[in-house]
Chain A
Amino acid sequence: MKPEKALIFEMSKPGRVAYSLPDCDVPEIEASSVVPSHLLRSTPAELPEVYEVDVIRHYTELSRRNFGIDNGFYPLGSCTMKYNPKINEDVARFAGFAKIHPYQPAESIQGALELLYTLQNDLAALTGMDQVSLQPAAGAHGEWTGLMLIRAYHESRGEKRTKVIVPDSSHGTNPASATVAGFETVTIASNDKGMVDLEALRAAVGSDTAALMLTNPSTLGLFEEQIVEIAQIVHESGGLLYYDGANSNAIMGIARPGDMGFDVVHLNLHKTMSTPHGGGGPGAGPVGVKSRLIPFLPKPIVGRAEDGAYYWDSDLPQSIGRVKAFYGNFGILVRAYAYIRTYGPEGLRRVSELAVLNANYMMHRLAPYFEAPYPGVCKHEFVLSGKRLKAFGVRTLDVAKRLLDFGYHPPTIYFPLNVEECIMIEPTETESKETLDAFIEAMIQIAREAETDPQLVINAPYTTIVKRLDETTAARKPVLNCTCG
């Protein structure tokens, strides 16, 4: 068992340095000679004083207390934790991508603009949309951007539509984005097959409907079989259809949101397109639209002139404006482009087929031990319910913690909210049958332990650096930093 890890601040010793800055080859003026004293610090900020070896060992030790995809299986539902290819990391670090300025003359960044232009077109083709903005920095940012586009579209037609409809299985960001975009959320219940209840939808739509936000396949891993009827109902009311692309890994090259009737879509490049999650970010959430919404896109998009030169196209007179400084998370867009080019269209289709095959295989093998509430075919992910284990005093949280002892990152738990004791598993296409089988065996063993020795599960984990943490005290008496506490 490793001892507590010191904070970098606790390692400080006056007089040590870890930096080497350029020499001062200009006159060494004092700050006080050019800045009034009331705007200057009287004492330096109390930052740590360490040397380079301390920095390397400290962060290396922190990294060893962390678990990424490269450490093992990470079947976190709705997060698409697929392998993050190493070539993507290498190319994003090329000086020609990493060391360029957003305000450089367009002639001096033609390679970057060509990449963005091609990526816009590739993502438009993949989603069945007519144009794409690469500005949004994340999925939720894309949702908000998409809803602002929808708002601008309705307003341009002289309509004030105030409501956004979401199913009860939707991601929490959907209603939160609706609020930030100035809409009221209407949540509709799913039917007993986990699908949108058409009667509930018909009752909810009206002249005040701005949009329906839908994840398809849904967070239950189910394809909305009635999507054509759903689109018809929403469109007939004058509303638009918003596609939450979090689950796009299931349908690449197989079915496109644009062909299903969606008007606006976002993709999570940090899910479907393999860019790393970075411990919480950065991601990228490009937004695609049908032609009638193009005039409202954020400025600028990348255009290509007749002579082949690429340029920033700000000619969008009805644009909602900017949503992000500069041009989005370019470094992530470089990685996503490299990913698309490792597979091409045929390869991406195969990616989705295998993601779906892996998920169905796992669901069939686990269903006898954990209840599968929707036992038909699933798409790239599926949900189980741990409610059977409650009889033994074991909850889904305990199952998740016990999985840590087997060396796995647990699945998503307690989401979606409409499944009791929910366990949501997404294996992705980059995991082998051996990996899936070993995880399945661990899950089966834990289900048995729950029956025969529930305390073993309830007290897990045993092998981690810390035991279960006191989250209640953390929230009631917050200690949020080590300096000003």
Chain B
Amino acid sequence: MKHRYLPMTEQDEAAMLETIGVDAIEDLFADIPQSIRYSGELPMSEALSEPALLKHMRQLADRNADFDRYASFLGAGIYDHHIPVVINHILSRSEFYTAYTPYQPEISQGELQAIFEFQSFICELTGMKVANASMYDGATALAEAAALASGATKRKRIVVSRTVHPEAREILRTSARGLGLEVVEVGFVDGVTDLGELQAAINDETAAVLVQTPNFFGLLEDIRAIEPLVHASKGLLVTSVNPLSLGILESPGVMGADVVIGDAQPLGIPAALGGPTCGFFAVSEALMRKIPGRIVGQTIDSEGKRGFVLTLQAREQHIRREKATSNICSNQALLALCASVYMSTLGKSGMVEAAELNLRKSHYAAGRMAEGNLSLPFRAPFFNEFVVRLPDGTDIASLNAQLLEAGYIGGYDLGLAYPELAGHLLVAVTERRTKDEIDGFIRELEACL
């Protein structure tokens, strides 16, 4: 067969077989026992020509309601933010996207420097001393943070607030079974972690307390009040954050966090049905040699010139095998680059302005909603997402179906993950939403009730 990705000609094939000293390609598979050979054609999707494939993919894509055609008020961990135009141009440089992990530093200085800069951005934003080159996403980073805390403290009890993203807690529970960790969940009052219950849950077996701010309901947790409770028992404080909120919110490092993790999706990464995004992972200096994943360090070459290398590799699976701090190998490097380009583009003032826009637009929307027959059940401060209580008996699935008809992607049905919050909608309002869209969404929402 001829194929545009395959250079083999009949002549080359014959010459190569002759060099090897066999008659046919089939002979190169003589080591595979006949009893396990597959004969016939696999029952898989058929091949398509390039134009037919483009058409097929376009048809599949067009059956999805996308953010270009619908105004999204859905958040819950994935947000519709403006993605600066330059990002796609840089991520499309194939020197970046077709490269492997930078194992050969002499020809990988571009990627290595980009990761070093990513680590620097994350440290600056989170107020931490050391950041790695990325994790799969924010949710798996949370589970890795629990593993790190258990290893660092030699304790097995993990206390996690129920205001942490429900899927992140599910992954944590899955991981905990493998690692033999005990996971204790702490409830919430008025939408934020119940500090009394938290204090009662922390004991001298507690490896870490895991909190998220803004939390799953969009509300800010009082990290400054939580910090002394955790450190009194010598556990670690793990804080999951929305990196965009750190344009205006105090960095967790300043507030005493030992580990700061999160998902960089708000930093210029497409929603893409939730992935690929990019988890980030930052720690205090004391935990530097316990951090999972790749780390880039600055050094010099044999002529004294500045350069960058993968470093502290004695923690990693390819060196330590079963004694590694984590099994992570592939990470999300290209999306870390994406986040770096975003932070370079927004820069010092842009990160503040973007965060302020999110805060202002969401507060405008929340204020407007509270004026009508909707109510805001929680009083704690929020960033760009908030909870609305709908009238009793509202069926949120059919409400969202109606909103979709009207051109809006509606909010998240909190009853799905919190039975006690049935009839509550989680609404996200990013800088992308115009006043007209917000007003229109609220009008439509009220009309549907």
Is A204's CB within 8 Å of the partner chain B?
no
Count of A-B contacts with CB under 8 A? 725
Residues of A within 8 A of B138 (CB): 325
Given contacts A100-B66, A430-B7, A468-B106, contact A281 B332 (CB under 8 A): yes
Residues of B within 8 A of A94 (CB): 57-58, 61
Of B74, B93, B136, chain A has the most CB atoms within 10 Å of the CB of B136
Within the complex, the shortest CB–CB distance from B384 to chain A, in Å, comes to 12
Is B125's CB within 8 Å of the partner chain A?
yes
Which chain A residue has the least Cβ–Cβ distance from B37?
A: A255
Q: Which 9 A-B pairs have the closest CB atoms?
A: A326-B274, A96-B61, A344-B47, A278-B334, A111-B63, A68-B98, A280-B333, A66-B110, A102-B274
Given contacts A65-B109, A108-B404, A474-B299, contact A41 B6 (CB under 8 A): no
Residue pair B53, A87 in contact (C-beta under 8 Å): yes
- State the CA gap A340–B46 with chains docked (Å): 8
A-B contact list, 20 entries, CB within 8 Å: A26-B363, A38-B250, A40-B248, A50-B344, A92-B272, A93-B88, A100-B271, A101-B271, A112-B64, A140-B329, A278-B334, A279-B101, A280-B294, A320-B174, A325-B77, A341-B56, A344-B48, A346-B41, A468-B106, A478-B297
Residues of A within 8 A of B435 (CB): 25-26
- State the CA gap A107–B138 with chains docked (Å): 27
- Per-residue CB contact flags for chain B residues 410-433 toward chain A (1 = under 8 Å, else 0) read 001000000000000000000110
Choose one: B53, B89, B106, B324; the contact of A466 (CB below 8 Å): B106
Residues of B within 8 A of A361 (CB): 16, 19-20
Which chain A residues (155-185) contact chain B, with CB distance < 8 Å? 171-173, 175-182, 185
- Per-residue CB contact flags for chain A residues 86-118 toward chain B (1 = under 8 Å, else 0) read 010111111111111111110111111011001
Is B444's CB within 8 Å of the partner chain A?
no
Which chain A residues (340-377) contact chain B, with CB distance < 8 Å? 340-351, 353-354, 356-358, 360-361, 364-365, 376-377
- State the CA gap A31–B384 with chains docked (Å): 12
Within the complex, the shortest CB–CB distance from B300 to chain A, in Å, comes to 6
Residue pair A140, B47 in contact (C-beta under 8 Å): no
Residue pair B171, A322 in contact (C-beta under 8 Å): yes
Which chain A residues (1-60) contact chain B, with CB distance < 8 Å? 4-5, 7-9, 12, 16-22, 24-29, 31, 34-36, 38-42, 44-50, 52, 55-56, 58-60
Is A432's CB within 8 Å of the partner chain B?
yes
Given contacts A39-B222, A125-B43, A433-B15, contact A480 B28 (CB under 8 A): no
Residues of B within 8 A of A68 (CB): 94-99
Residues of B within 8 A of A141 (CB): 136, 140, 327-328
- State the CA gap A59–B337 with chains docked (Å): 9
Residue pair B275, A328 in contact (C-beta under 8 Å): yes
Residue pair A324, B171 in contact (C-beta under 8 Å): yes
Is B108's CB within 8 Å of the partner chain A?
yes
Choose one: B20, B111, B328, B354; the contact of A138 (CB below 8 Å): B328
Is B178's CB within 8 Å of the partner chain A?
yes
Residue pair A138, B104 in contact (C-beta under 8 Å): no
Is A277's CB within 8 Å of the partner chain B?
yes
Residue pair B318, A172 in contact (C-beta under 8 Å): yes
Given contacts A26-B364, A354-B6, contact A100 B273 (CB under 8 A): yes
Given contacts A325-B165, A327-B275, contact A47 B347 (CB under 8 A): yes
Residue pair A7, B45 in contact (C-beta under 8 Å): no
- Per-residue CB contact flags for chain A residues 62-82 toward chain B (1 = under 8 Å, else 0) read 111111111100101001010
Stretch at the interface among A222-230, A235-243, A443-451: A222-230
- State the CA gap A466–B306 with chains docked (Å): 8
Within the complex, the shortest CB–CB distance from A38 to chain B, in Å, comes to 6
Is B168's CB within 8 Å of the partner chain A?
yes
Is B312's CB within 8 Å of the partner chain A?
yes
Is A452's CB within 8 Å of the partner chain B?
no
Residue pair A39, B61 in contact (C-beta under 8 Å): no
Given contacts A38-B224, A68-B95, contact A344 B44 (CB under 8 A): yes
Choose one: A121, A225, A282, A470; the contact of B301 (CB below 8 Å): A470
Choose one: B28, B110, B318; the contact of A357 (CB below 8 Å): B28
Residues of B within 8 A of A467 (CB): 106, 301-303, 305
Residue pair A356, B174 in contact (C-beta under 8 Å): no
Residues of B within 8 A of A76 (CB): 100, 103
Given contacts A46-B348, A91-B54, contact A351 B275 (CB under 8 A): no
Residues of B within 8 A of A27 (CB): 360, 364
Residue pair A347, B3 in contact (C-beta under 8 Å): yes
Stretch at the interface among B127-135, B194-202, B369-377: B127-135
Residue pair B101, A280 in contact (C-beta under 8 Å): yes
- State the CA gap A85–B98 with chains docked (Å): 10
Residue pair A330, B360 in contact (C-beta under 8 Å): no
Given contacts A42-B250, A172-B329, 5 further A-B contacts (CB under 8 A): A31-B356, A282-B330, A322-B174, A327-B274, A347-B3
Choose one: A74, A92, A282, A325; the contact of B167 (CB below 8 Å): A325
Residue pair A321, B171 in contact (C-beta under 8 Å): yes
- State the CA gap A41–B252 with chains docked (Å): 10
- State the CA gap A461–B302 with chains docked (Å): 11
Residue pair A7, B120 in contact (C-beta under 8 Å): yes
Which chain B residues (229-264) contact chain A, with CB distance < 8 Å? 246-251, 263
Choose one: B22, B99, B340; the contact of A66 (CB below 8 Å): B99
Residue pair B360, A28 in contact (C-beta under 8 Å): yes
- State the CA gap A83–B94 with chains docked (Å): 11
Residue pair B57, A254 in contact (C-beta under 8 Å): no
- State the CA gap A58–B106 with chains docked (Å): 18
Of A36, A63, A280, A468, chain B has the most CB atoms within 10 Å of the CB of A280
- Per-residue CB contact flags for chain B residues 32-57 toward chain A (1 = under 8 Å, else 0) read 11011110011111111010011011
Is B17's CB within 8 Å of the partner chain A?
yes
Choose one: A42, A87, A429, A465; the contact of B109 (CB below 8 Å): A465
Is B119's CB within 8 Å of the partner chain A?
yes
Is A395's CB within 8 Å of the partner chain B?
no
Choose one: A4, A93, A430, A481; the contact of B5 (CB below 8 Å): A430
Stretch at the interface among B79-87, B153-161, B204-212, B387-395: B79-87
Residue pair B29, A50 in contact (C-beta under 8 Å): no
Residue pair B249, A35 in contact (C-beta under 8 Å): yes
Residue pair B363, A185 in contact (C-beta under 8 Å): no
Which chain B residues (347-402) contact chain A, with CB distance < 8 Å? 347-357, 359-361, 363-364, 381-382, 397, 400-401
Residue pair B60, A481 in contact (C-beta under 8 Å): no
Residues of A within 8 A of B90 (CB): 55-56, 59-60, 63
Is A144's CB within 8 Å of the partner chain B?
yes
- Per-residue CB contact flags for chain B residues 154-186 toward chain A (1 = under 8 Å, else 0) read 000000000001011011011101111000000
Residue pair B171, A325 in contact (C-beta under 8 Å): yes
Is A248's CB within 8 Å of the partner chain B?
no
Is A153's CB within 8 Å of the partner chain B?
no
Residues of B within 8 A of A322 (CB): 139, 167, 170-171, 174
